[in-house]
């Protein structure tokens, strides 16, 4: 049973000190994520060169969204959301330190970054022990991410007025993306060259610092002027199941959110096809070093920052419906072009465009959810939405790995590494053709107008 910080009512429309602390915590945490974004794929490629085994790493990273997102929603509605975020980040810090320690003990056995860039790998084949530890760590880090992210999205509306959610989300995600893609990967590349274990040590430190910053939001609750939110009762058998079912029913009865959740699921599954072995595609087809691989993420960061800041203006100018259309169309075409390229700078530019439009989608859809879902259901409905939207990612990654294995068996390795990108692009264009007529500004505005409860518009 918990209380939550009330929405800021500061004069002049300020986003408030609670938001600023959350902003700082998320930025620091995402800096560590950016370091890990480079370090974990390169560690995986140093352990094995098998595309299917590489894709399984991505599957385990996203599998918690399929397995844990629904109970995570109940947790976010029952307990102190800030405390959940703190404990999740402390857990991630501990897991990352374990990985750092094991990598340190194997430092003389791992191939150098130059060897990996040239398509080389471990001399003795796959290091089974290190690979299994990596899979376990990736899964546990994913569980922490699910708990943290679901609690954070449910916590933000308690800090910011509804009419300022798009602004707050846009700025928060711009900073997160800049740290995650712009600063983190180059820093990770530099740390990796110094020592293979060093990026993981720094990553663990960022999780710990983020936890401390989130904990600093707690004293604000002493000044709360709104009645405390009462968590759902858990004193009867089957309470968790009933609460998850309540969140599921609310989402399923809301036709627009249901459509957006399903579309996001297919979109993320298709995106995971290519990302399943991005590190091998980048090393062998684009010829990237660790620094150049980091610059691919920098391209995405620039696009994401621009998208986060520009999303409210773009949505206001062309409407949220056409904005969602634009995301699907450009994403499909961009993925096909990436699959045909051999130039990493051009791929970095396309990553930037994709990230910019992806941020536009996120700002519109997440702000919509935060506006229309009742606070007492926000954690559970968000978790169901993410169950559909993010739970498809491990399935997409597995399909990407199988696709590469099949194409390599009947063709050649180069085509195997390109095939998932081509398949994903075609899939996104087909998705747009199937659902484009349902993604309209009129439906979104009707949903906002009916924010008191589920809307079953025609």
CATH number, domain containing residue 38: 1.20.1250.20
Return the C-alpha torsion angle 26, 27, 33, 39, nearest 10. Answer: -160
- pLDDT per residue as tens digits for the range 317-365: 999 999 999 999 999 999 999 999 999 999 999 998 988 888 889 888 8
Determine, yes or no, domain membership for 286. Answer: yes
242-276 core/surface letters (b: 16 or more CB in 10 A; e: else): ebbebbbebbeebbbbbebbbbbbbbbbbbbbbbb
322 against 69, higher pLDDT: 322
Q: Which of 41-45, 78-82, 299-303, 391-395 is predicted with the least confidence, judged by mean pLDDT?
A: 299-303
Spatial CB neighbours of 118, under 8 Å, sequence gap ≥ 6: none
Q: Please give the pLDDT value at position 399.
A: 92
User: Do the domain assignments include residue 457?
Assistant: no
- CB contact set of 385 (below 8 Å; sequence gap of 6+): 251, 257, 260, 261, 264, 369
| Angle (nearest 5°) at CA 224 between 218 and 228 | 95
pLDDT tens, residue by residue, 160-184: 776 677 677 777 767 776 777 678 8
Query: What per-residue confidence (pLDDT) applies to 112?
Result: 66
The yes-or-no verdict on residue 232 having pLDDT over 50 is no
At residue 155 the predicted structure's pLDDT band, cuts being 50, 70 and 90, is: confident
Number of structural domains the chain divides into: 1
Q: What is the pLDDT of residue 451?
A: 57
Q: pLDDT per residue over 119-153, tens digit each?
A: 555 555 667 888 899 999 989 998 998 888 878 87
C-alpha torsion angle, residues 198, 200, 205, 208 (rounded to 10): -170
Structure tokens at 249: 């029913």
- When the pLDDT of each residue in the chain is averaged and rounded to a whole number, the result is 81
Place of tokens 């700002």: 363
pLDDT at position 182: 72
**pTM given for the model:** 0.70
Q: Per mean pLDDT, which range of 188-192, 226-230, 405-409, 436-440 is the poorest?
A: 226-230
Q: Is residue 1 assigned to a domain?
A: no
**Residues 55/397, Cβ–Cβ less than 8 Å:** yes
pLDDT band for 221, please (50, 70, 90 cuts). very low
Report the pLDDT value the prediction gives residue 381, as an integer from 0 to 100.
Answer: 85
Q: For residue 114, what pLDDT band results from cuts at 50, 70 and 90?
A: low
Q: Is the pLDDT of residue 230 over 50?
A: no
Encode pLDDT of 367-410 as tens digits: 888 788 887 787 788 778 878 887 888 899 889 989 998 999 88
In a domain, 227, yes or no: no
**Could you list the residue range(s) of the whole structural domain that residue 368 is in?**
15-222+240-449
In DSSP notation, 396-440 reads HHHHHHHHHHHHHHHS-HHHHHHHHHHHHHHHHHHHHHHHGGG--
Per-residue pLDDT, 350: 94
Q: Are 321 and 442 in contact (CB under 8 A)?
A: yes
Angstrom distances, CA of residue 365 to CA of 91, 257, 285, 340: 29, 9, 35, 31
Sequential DSSP letters for 267-326: HHHHHHHHHTTHHHHHHHTS---HHHHHHHHHHHHHHHHHHHHHHHHHHHHH-HHHHHHH
Better-predicted residue by pLDDT, 107 or 134: 134
Q: Is residue 2 part of a domain?
A: no
Do 418 and 93 contact (CB within 8 A), yes or no? no
Q: Is residue 5 part of a domain?
A: no
**What is the rounded average pLDDT of the residues 280-300?**
84
Does 235 fall in a domain?
Answer: no
Is 314 contained in some domain? yes
């Amino acid at each position: 049973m918990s209380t939550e910080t009330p929405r800021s009512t500061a004069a002049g429309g300020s986003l408030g000190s609670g938001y600023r602390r959350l902003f700082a915590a998320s930025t620091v945490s995402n800096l560590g994520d950016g370091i890990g974004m480079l370090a974990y794929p390169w560690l995986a490629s140093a352990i094995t060169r098998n595309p299917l085994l590489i894709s399984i790493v991505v599957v385990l990273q996203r599998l918690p969204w399929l397995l844990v997102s629904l109970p995570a929603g109940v947790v976010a509605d029952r307990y102190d959301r800030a405390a959940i975020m703190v404990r999740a980040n402390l857990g991630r810090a501990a897991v990352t330190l374990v990985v750092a320690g094991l990598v340190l003990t194997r430092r003389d056995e791992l191939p150098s970054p130059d060897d990996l860039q040239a398509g080389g790998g471990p001399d003795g084949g796959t290091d089974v022990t290190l690979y299994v530890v990596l899979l376990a760590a990736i899964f546990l880090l994913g569980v922490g991410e699910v708990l943290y992210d679901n609690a954070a999205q449910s916590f933000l509306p308690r800090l910011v007025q509804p009419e300022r959610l798009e602004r707050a989300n846009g700025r928060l995600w711009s900073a997160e993306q800049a740290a995650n893609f712009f600063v983190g990967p180059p820093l990770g590349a530099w740390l990796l060259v110094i020592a293979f274990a060093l990026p993981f040590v720094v990553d663990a430190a960022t999780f710990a610092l983020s936890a401390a910053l989130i904990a600093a939001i707690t004293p604000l609750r002493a000044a709360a002027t709104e009645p405390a939110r009462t968590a759902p009762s858990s004193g009867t058998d089957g309470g968790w199941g009933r609460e998850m079912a309540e969140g599921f029913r609310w989402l399923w009865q809301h036709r627009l959110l249901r459509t957006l959740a399903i579309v996001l699921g297919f979109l993320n599954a298709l995106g995971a096809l290519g990302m399943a072995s991005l590190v091998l595609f980048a090393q062998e087809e684009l010829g990237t070093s660790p620094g150049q691989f980091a610059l691919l993420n920098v391209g995405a960061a620039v696009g994401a920052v621009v998208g986060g800041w520009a999303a409210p203006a773009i949505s206001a100018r062309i409407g949220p419906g056409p904005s969602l259309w634009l995301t699907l169309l450009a994403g499909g075409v961009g993925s096909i072009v990436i699959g045909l390229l051999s130039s990493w700078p051009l791929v970095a530019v396309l990553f930037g465009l994709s990230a910019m439009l992806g941020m536009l989608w996120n700002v519109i859809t997440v702000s919509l959810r935060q506006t229309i879902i009742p606070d007492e259901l926000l954690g559970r409905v968000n978790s169901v939405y993410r169950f559909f939207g993010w739970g498809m990612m491990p399935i997409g990654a597995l399909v990407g790995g199988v696709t590469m294995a099949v194409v390599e068996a009947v063709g050649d390795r180069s085509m195997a590494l390109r095939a998932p990108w081509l398949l994903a692009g075609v899939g996104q264009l087909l998705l747009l053709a199937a659902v484009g007529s349902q993604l309209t500004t009129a439906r979104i505005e009707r949903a906002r107008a009916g924010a008191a409860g589920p809307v079953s518009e025609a």
